[in-house]
Chain A
Amino acid sequence: MPADTVTGTSVPMPPVRSALSEPGWVRILLIGGALLFLALFLLLPLVAVFAEALHRGFDAYWTALTEPDAVAAIELTLIVAAISVPANLLFGVAASWCVAKFDFRGKNLLITLIDLPFSVSPVISGLIYVLLFGLNGLFGTYLRDMGIQIIFAVPGLVLATIFVTFPFVARELIPLMQEQGSDEEEAALVLGASGWQTFWRVTIPNIKWGLLYGVLLCNARAMGEFGAVSVVSGHIRGETNTMPLHVEILYNEYNFVAAFAVASLLAMLALVTLVVKTALEWRFGDELAATRH
């Protein structure tokens, strides 16, 4: 009965150390160090935000979130994001399309310009708009005569946010589209597709995941932006305060519960962004890999 020898209990293999594995204490030190670092610098602050926000109980937390100024700040933040994210979505796709599929003079200049908001301090970005559209600015008198207010009003907030967040979508898409080349678009054109059909049926499906990433990051930044928005806002409560600005005002007034309550919403936004990103990677990992190669 030769089968017996196979079905018998397995003999434990002696532990084999591969050439690439480290001794136990090194592994523990490295992993432990990384975890400690993460806990100290990422997890602890997050916990602190929620702990502080809730330490007078849930009612105080809820009141802080539902008082009119807080609601106005949340609404304003959503409005600003709702305008600037789609604007940058369009801009990002158009810019990366240009950069990746065409050769033209000044291409490198365009790429550098796209990166500008990353290299310029957000405060400067805000100041630029004040210098342009403020009362004493370049177009100030003209705008006042026309009855248009940009600085210390919603348009200024939107402009500053668009400026600060405009690299996100383009940065995500340019390398992706460059790597993919324009062979598939050419194939579609030869097969009889119009430019519009080619864009919707070939280009967009190939970049949709990169696009989604870019939009998620862009949205997170649009809602969380502080510096540029702070300069152009004027900090009028209930009118031109976005959530981050509202947090600052409350904090300066020693209203810690309310400040951390609003801050916790921003923290949750960050968490949701991360969760969605991870979920997408997990759910569509194969497809993701397929469009990248």
Chain B
Amino acid sequence: MAIQVSGITKRFNDFTALDSVDLEVRSGELLALLGPSGSGKTTLLRIMAGLESPDAGGLLLNGEEALGLKPRDRQVGFVFQHYALFRHMSVFENVAFGLKVRPRGQRPSSAEIRRRVAELLELVQLSPFAGRYPAQLSGGQRQRVALARALAIEPKVLLLDEPFGALDAKVRKELRRWLRKLHDDIHITSVFVTHDQEEALELADRVVVMNQGRIEQIGTPAEVYDHPASAFVYEFLGQVNRLDCTVEGGIAHVGGGALAIATDGGVQGPAVAYVRPHDLGVTPAAGGPARISGIHVVGPDARIDIDLAGLALEAEMDRERLATLGIVAGDRCSVHIDRARVFAR
């Protein structure tokens, strides 16, 4: 176990940022802390690094009690959201900083420092930029300098705060893949914070979904996406239709009987059914109960707005399927639900 968080609580005045959080980060894994802003994910990351101290709870880093340790003694690499590169230092100086500030006895020779920095710049593909200043680099380059700088101290754990938050969409995607590959190569235990579910699902070995200072669910990307543990996780991960319903005898009735969904039991009375857009089937039917109110083509996929007796639904399918069905806006249709999850209200 690389990191063990037990019962960590942190309050800022009246606001509870973390409410008795337990979490285990396994050695060598890439873990995502996913949640909306204010869910406590960044606070948890900063507590791991020693930049905040919790009001209660315990923290073990590689089996050692860490809360009493200063940030400098924790051997963690931290990549800040806005990189926090030293603006008056060149790329080389930035990466070398962690080695140069070591006490005399542990400090590598300057030749050794040069060799290590060159190696790291090679790793992050920035060798030609060693002499540049942060202001002369693009966002993606700064991000990689920040990563090289964090790795220079050979940390046991790498912590990244919204590592792609400040980048534009294309660079973000490239850098994401690159980071995944880097992690597969060097296998350093890593935790990153994000509010972008796509990022978490694509990049992480395991995802921790957080909300209001608590952990809602921990699991592999497939687990949290396919089997959300709570209504919050369902809503937060991906697009979803949220349907108020009443469950009677295992059947959820939506919109005054316009739609019936079979449930796996357990829930009775007022409830909410969650249906992913791609789990909502559409069949053209001349006298059907629903009407296609709009079709939006986004790249290879199509998003279909459906009006079911005043209830707005959203379906999703690929364009081929759309062409096969041959539906256009204004057509009548019937809808069926392939898969739904019902939570008591």
Contact = CB atoms under 8 A, between A and B. Distances in A.
Interface in B109-156: 133, 135, 149-150, 152-153
Contacts of B86: 184, 187-188, 202
Contact of A190 (B72, B87, B102): B72
Interface residues of A, number: 20
A23 interface: no
Given A193-B72, A194-B72, A187 B84 contact: yes
Contact of B135 (A184, A197, A290): A290
A149 to B, nearest CB: 46
A184 B84 contact: yes
10 contacts: A186-B78, A187-B149, A188-B97, A189-B51, A190-B51, A190-B77, A191-B153, A192-B153, A193-B97, A290-B135
Nearest to A185: B84
A137 interface: no
Given A190-B150, A291-B88, 15 more contacts: A184-B84, A184-B86, A186-B51, A186-B78, A186-B84, A187-B78, A187-B80, A187-B84, A188-B86, A189-B51, A190-B78, A191-B72, A192-B98, A193-B97, A194-B101
A229 B72 CA distance: 48
A291 B101 contact: no
B278 interface: no
A205 B97 contact: no
B98 A191 contact: yes
Contacts of B78: 186-187, 190
Interface in A156-185: 183-184
A293 interface: yes
Nearest to B135: A290
A27 interface: no
A290 B101 contact: no
Interface of A: 183-184, 186-194, 197, 201-202, 205-206, 287, 290-291, 293
Q: Chain A binding site: helix, strand, loop or mixed by DSSP?
A: helix
Those 8 A-B pairs whose CB atoms lie nearest each other, nearest first: A183-B84, A191-B98, A187-B84, A193-B101, A190-B78, A192-B72, A205-B88, A190-B71
A290 B102 contact: no
Contacts of B84: 183-184, 186-187
A133 B269 CA distance: 82
A190 B133 contact: no
B120 to A, nearest CB: 13
Contacts of B153: 191-192
Nearest to A189: B71
Contacts of A205: 88
Contact of B101 (A184, A197, A206, A293): A197
Contacts of A206: 87-88
Interface-centre pick from A183, A188, A190 (highest chain B CB count, 10 A): A190
Contact of A192 (B51, B80, B82, B102): B102
Contact of A183 (B82, B98, B133): B82
